Amino acid sequence: MALFLPKEYRPKMVPEMMEHAIKFIKDTFQTELSRKLRLRRVTAPLFVLSGTGLNDDLNGCERAVSFPVKFLDDKRAEVVHSLAKWKRVKLGAYNIAPGYGLYTDMNAIRADEELDNIHSLYVDQWDWERTIVEEERSLTFLKKIVDEIFDTLRMVEQAVYDKYPHITPILPEKITYLHSEELLQMYPDLSAKDREFEAAKKFGAVFIIGIGDELGDGQPHDGRAPDYDDWSTENEEGYKGLNGDIILWNPILENSFEISSMGIRVDRKALLKQLEKRNCLDRTELNFHKKLLENKIPLSIGGGIGQSRLCMYFLRCAHIGEVQSSIWGEEMVAECAAHNIHLK
């Protein structure tokens, strides 16, 4: 999205209180999320070795920030894009039983990001993963977990209101579920982002199911790597995909606002199918993929939830730079300041 400058924007927090409010939201959310999903906190890496298959390649075109490691004969390490695959390995390493999982603070650098109100070079999110059994690889179970996350969002929004009564709740009571194919049928003449806009504006909060595989128009709703979310398995509603995005309506930006990408992860069958679809079968030689194909990595469900985006939403901020410190162009800083948006 292009930089959006709300008319007559007034921050809900003075600078002296902003840091306190950010900490309050982060502490409250992760405590409640870990309780609801039965997650324990673990320490995450900032970088992993290249060539292991552990890093997430997102849509497949973003470059990872990398560097040589002198101690390892200049083998290259790369800053993580996310921890989608690393978390699954840790579930097995820690022998975490089905019904329980882990979460961590994930920090990343995305050098190719186009900067605007919601995109930064610096990414901070809660990455979480939970062990499941074969019977839980279903849309019904996916929705159950999404409901738990949405209940957590509503609880935190209420806590923010209790502490800062001038920030009134706006989330709907329930989140609406729509498959990306249904969304295409509802708005066949719109782009995927415009379809998200219309759905979020209408329902307030939506979970868009099935992101990665081609839809009826021959295009995916959005890109997904082939080796973490399962976007190809047919679900019990007759559509493809056991993954999706949580998208809220943001009244400050007057736009749809993604706060989480998540899903049931690929099993052996789905991994092979998706690698073949994306012409990536060479990845079967990577360490992570070999272990998964040998059933040495637990079945799981997991995702990421943007920390700064969540704070931005609950504090009704117009720019992610109000809640995190990063690098912004001088022109953007000046333009925002002229509209009462002060970037860190």
In the prediction, which pLDDT does 1 show?
A: 62
- Count Cβ atoms within 10 A of the Cβ of residue 213 and give its class: 0-12 exposed, 13-18 middle, 19 or more buried: buried
Answer yes or no: are the C-beta atoms of 103 and 126 closer than 8 Å. yes
In the prediction, which pLDDT does 103 show?
A: 97
308 included as an active-site residue: no
The average confidence (pLDDT) of the chain is: 94
3-state secondary structure of 242: coil
Pick the catalytic residue: 120, 125, 324, 326? 125
38 included as an active-site residue: no
258 included as an active-site residue: yes
Percent of the chain with pLDDT over 90: 83
Query: Other C-beta atoms within 10 Å of 273: how many?
Result: 17
Give 214-239 pLDDT, tens digit per residue. 999 999 999 999 999 999 999 999 99
3-state secondary structure of 124: strand
Phi, psi of 298 (to 5 degrees): -65, 150
- Count Cβ atoms within 10 A of the Cβ of residue 152 and give its class: 0-12 exposed, 13-18 middle, 19 or more buried: buried
- CATH numbers and ranges of domains, the chain: 15-337 (3.30.930.10)
73 included as an active-site residue: no
d(CA 129, CA 227): 15
pLDDT exceeds cutoff 90 at 150: yes
3-state secondary structure of 146: helix
Going by pLDDT thresholds of 50, 70 and 90, the confidence category of residue 63 is confident
Answer yes or no: are the C-beta atoms of 127 and 104 closer than 8 Å. yes
261 included as an active-site residue: yes
In the prediction, which pLDDT does 66 show?
A: 87
In the prediction, which pLDDT does 119 show?
A: 94
In the prediction, which pLDDT does 57 show?
A: 63
- Count Cβ atoms within 10 A of the Cβ of residue 28 and give its class: 0-12 exposed, 13-18 middle, 19 or more buried: middle
301 is written with which tokens?
């469900």
Out of 7-16, 33-42, 179-188, 314-323, pick the least confident.
7-16
Pick the catalytic residue: 113, 116, 151, 258? 258
Q: What mean pLDDT do residues 72-93 have?
A: 90
pLDDT exceeds cutoff 70 at 59: no
Going by pLDDT thresholds of 50, 70 and 90, the confidence category of residue 79 is confident
Pick the catalytic residue: 245, 300, 324, 326? 245
Q: What mean pLDDT do residues 266-276 have?
A: 97
What is the reported pTM?
0.93
In the prediction, which pLDDT does 228 show?
A: 92
Pick the catalytic residue: 110, 195, 309, 316? 110
151 included as an active-site residue: no
Pick the catalytic residue: 30, 32, 56, 260? 56
